[in-house]
Structure 1
Amino acid sequence: MNDGLTPVRLPANQPPRFYRGGAAIAALRGDEPKEFGPEDWVASCTTLHGERADGLTTLPDGTLLRDAVASAPGNWLGDAHVRAYGADTALLVKLLDAGQRLPVHCHPSDEFAAAHYGSRYGKTEAWIVVGAEEGSTVHIGFAEDRDADTVADWVARQDSAAMLEALNPVRVSTGDTVFVPAGVPHAIGAGIFIVELQQPTDLSVTLEWQGFLDDEAGAHLGIGFEKALGCVDRHGWAHRLDELVHRGPATGDLLDQPDFFRAERLTGGAALDASFGVLVVLDGTGVLHTEKAGDIPLEKGDTFAVPHAAGESTVDGDVAAIRCRPPVS
C-alpha cells in the first residue's frame, strides 16, 4: 500500500453524472472524450451520494487513496491536519467541463448537513475558470431577497425560467475565480471549464430538477423539499458580487478560504511549503523538485496527489499549474 512519501500521478476518475460534457478534460489529459464525462474527481476520498465506491480515486497500484491515507495519515496529511480532521483530506478537487447548462441548485452548510444528512461537511465550493467560450455565463445568488414561499412555489411548479431569471448572470473568462458559499443558489453555463475546490461531499439540493434528474427524491436527497429548502440562501447578492467573483488571471494565491480550502497558480520558480496538495498541470512541462521525494516530472494534463511528507518543493520549467490544499489546520 502507498506509504504517502512520494507524489503520485493520478489517472482520470470520471464517475457517471447526469449532464453532458468532458471534451475539455479529454483534451487536457490527451484522452478520448466521453459524452457524459463532465467531471474528473481528482485525489478523491469522497463517493457520489448514496454510493459505496463511485467517485473514489484508485491509485496506480490498485489501492484506494482513501485507504492509503487511512494507513499513513501523518505522511499524507501532516500531524497538524490529522489532529484537526483525522485521516480525512477535508478536500475534494474536480475538473468540471460543462457541456450544457447545469440546473439551478445549492448545497447545505455544515450545520444543515449534520442535522439533516448525517454528514460532517456541507459543501462550500469555489471555481477557478481555466477555459471559457466567449460569452460564457454563470448564474449565482438571488439578485434580490426572496421569501421562502416564492422559492417553494418555483420549485413546486418547476419554473426554470423564474429561478434562472432570479439569479445574477455573470460573464466569466479564463483566470476568473468564483467563491460559492453553502446555500447560495447557482448554475454553471455551457462552455465553461473549471478546477473546482469543495468540501468533500456530494450533497446538492437541486431546485431545478425536472429535465435533469430522474425524480424529485434525488433533488432533495430524500428529506423532502419542505426541509431541504431550509438550506437555501435567499438573500440578495446583486450589490455584493465582488465578494464572490474575482477577475484574473493572476499568479500566486487564487483562493484563500482558510476554513474550507486554498489554491495557488504556479509557474516556474514557485516555492512551496510542505503540505498535502492536489496538483493540476494546465500547460507546459517542468519539474517539481521535492525536499524528500526527489524530482517529479510535470506535463500538461498531469494530476498529482502530493503528500505532506514530500517536504518543501520548488517548481522549475515552462509550466503552469494549480495547487489545491485543504483548510488551514
Structure 2
Amino acid sequence: MSNTGSRAIELPANQPKQFYRGGASIAELRGAPEADFGPEDWVASTTTLFGKPDAGLSRLPDGRLLRDAVAADPTTWLGAEHVAEFGADTALLVKLLDAGQRLPVHCHPSNAFAATHLDCRHGKTEAWIVIGTKGANPLVYIGFRDDVPEGVVTRWVAEQDTSAMLGALNEVRVSPGDVVFVPAGVPHAIGAGVFIVELQQPTDFSVTLEWSGFLATPDAGHLGLGYDKALGCVDRDGWGGRLDELIRRTGDQSKGAVDLFARNADPFFRADRLHVSGSVELDPSFAVLVVLEGSGSLGPLELRRGSTAVVPHAAGQEVLSGDLVAVRCRPPLPSSLGS
C-alpha cells in the first residue's frame, strides 16, 4: 500500500471544461488572480462528466487517479463501515463553483429515478455553501413558488419560455455563510457572482429545462432519455412557504466547528466550517478540506488560503492547527453508525 493513502494530500485545481463562464474567483482563492481556467474545480473527484470517460477525475501527486487508488484500497481511504455500505465509492463529489454568469434553470434526478432510468445507485442531491459574492444583488433561484402542473412545465421547456421558468422560482438573495440545500428534483439556478463550495452525490446528472442560450442543442439537456421521460424527475411542488427547509444563514457563526447542514442532508453528505485558532483534533473520516482563510497545517501537510486536500480515513485523528477557516466536507454517515 502506498503511503499516499494514509495522510492528507494537497490537490491542485481540476477544472474540466464547462458550457458557462466563470472561474476568476477560484483563481483568486488559489492565489493565481491572472488565471481563469473554468467555473468549476472538482476537488478529490472520482466522478466524470456525463458521457465522458475521464474528464473530471482527480489525480494524486504520484500520478494515479484518485478513483483507482480508492478502488485498490477502499478501507484505507474510506473506512470499513463506509465500505460495508457503499463499497469502493466515496459517495461524495465536492466542487468549487464560481458563476461568472447565471446558470440555466435545471434539476437533478433522485436515487430512484437514477436507478430506474440511468442504471446508477446515486441521483444528485446537492448543497451550496456560499463563500463569496460579487455584484449588487447576488441571487439564487430555488424551487417553484407554487405547485406547477405537469403540462405547464412541459410547455415551458418545449417553448423555451425562460421568463416563465425563472419567474416561477423562489428568488433568494445570498451572502457568504449562507447554505442552500437542493434536494433531487427541485428546479434551481445560481445567479452571476455567486461563489460556492458545492457538495453533491457523485454523479453529473442534470436535466436542463432552460437549454436555449446555454447548450448547443436540446439533446444535450435530457441525459439521453428524451424530455418526455426526463421531465419525470422534476419536483413540481411549491416551496414558497417552506424555504426554511432549504436555506440556513450561518455567516454570523465564527467560532469552533459550525455544522452547516440540517438533518435532511445526512443521507447525502456532511459539512462543517472549522474556525481554528490554535489546534483541533479531527475524528477519522474520508474528507475533503477547502481552506478559505489563513494558514496552518493538517498533520504534516502545510495549508494556506486556497488549499484543497483529500483526507483518507486511515489518517486517523489528525490535528488541524494554525489560524485558519476551512470547510470540511464528508460523505454520508453509514447507516450503521447513524442515530
Matches within 5 A, 1:68-107: 68-107=69-108
Deviation at 1:38, TM superposition (A): 0.1
Does 214-223 or 148-157 show the bigger shift?
214-223
Q: Does structure 1 retain, via aligned residues, the 8 Å contact 2:42–2:93?
A: yes
Q: Does structure 2 retain, via aligned residues, the 8 Å contact 1:267–1:315?
A: no
Inter-partner Cα distance in structure 1 for 2:112 and 2:5: 32
TM-score by length of 2: 0.93
Inter-partner Cα distance in structure 1 for 2:187 and 2:32: 33
For 2:53, give the aligned amino acid.
Answer: R
Which residue is 2:45 aligned to? 44
Deviation at 1:33, TM superposition (A): 5.2
Does 180-189 or 66-75 show the bigger shift?
66-75
Which residue is 2:293 aligned to? 283
Q: Does structure 2 retain, via aligned residues, the 8 Å contact 1:167–1:186?
A: yes
- Runs of 4 or more above 3 Å deviation: 32-36
Which residue is 1:292 aligned to? none
Structure 1, gaps ≥5 residues long: 290-294
Which residue is 1:307 aligned to? 312
Confirm or deny that 1:270 pairs with 2:280. Answer: yes
For 1:100, give the aligned amino acid.
Answer: Q
Percent pairwise identity = 62
Inter-partner Cα distance in structure 1 for 2:59 and 2:9: 11
For 2:127, give the aligned amino acid.
Answer: A
Superposed CA offset, 1:266-316 (max 9, x none):
122433110000000111011223xxxxx2211111100000001012322
Q: Does structure 2 retain, via aligned residues, the 8 Å contact 1:20–1:100?
A: yes
Matches within 5 A, 1:126-205: 126-133=127-134, 134-205=136-207
Inter-partner Cα distance in structure 1 for 2:142 and 2:124: 15
Q: Does structure 2 retain, via aligned residues, the 8 Å contact 1:2–1:68?
A: no
Q: Does structure 2 retain, via aligned residues, the 8 Å contact 1:20–1:35?
A: no
Inter-partner Cα distance in structure 1 for 2:261 and 2:5: 26
Does 25-34 or 299-308 show the bigger shift?
25-34
CA gap 1:34/1:316 in 2 versus in 1, 3 angstroms: closer
Which residue is 2:247 aligned to? 245
For 1:68, give the aligned amino acid.
Answer: A
- Three-state SS of the structure 1 residue aligned to 2:297 is strand
The number of equivalent residue pairs is: 324
Inter-partner Cα distance in structure 2 for 1:21 and 1:239: 32
Does 251-260 or 44-53 show the bigger shift?
251-260
Which residue is 1:323 aligned to? 328
Superposed CA offset, 1:309-329 (max 9, x none):
010123221111000000111
Superposed CA offset, 1:222-274 (max 9, x none):
11111000000000001000000111223421125221000010122433110
CA gap 1:36/1:185 in 2 versus in 1, 3 angstroms: farther
For 1:271, give the aligned amino acid.
Answer: E
Which residue is 1:261 aligned to? 269
Inter-partner Cα distance in structure 2 for 1:66 and 1:56: 7
Q: Does structure 2 retain, via aligned residues, the 8 Å contact 1:3–1:68?
A: no
Q: CA RMSD in A?
A: 1.2
Does 215-224 or 166-175 show the bigger shift?
215-224
Deviation at 1:65, TM superposition (A): 0.2
Deviation at 1:73, TM superposition (A): 0.7
For 1:254, give the aligned amino acid.
Answer: L
Q: Does structure 2 retain, via aligned residues, the 8 Å contact 1:2–1:63?
A: no
TM-score by length of 1: 0.96
Structure 2, gaps ≥5 residues long: 335-339
Superposed CA offset, 1:110-163 (max 9, x none):
000111111111000000000012420001000000000000000000000000
Superposed CA offset, 1:26-47 (max 9, x none):
0011235555600000000000
CA gap 1:32/1:61 in 2 versus in 1, 3 angstroms: farther
- Three-state SS of the structure 2 residue aligned to 1:70 is helix
Does 278-287 or 244-253 show the bigger shift?
244-253
Which residue is 1:232 aligned to? 234
- Three-state SS of the structure 1 residue aligned to 2:16 is coil
Inter-partner Cα distance in structure 2 for 1:146 and 1:244: 19
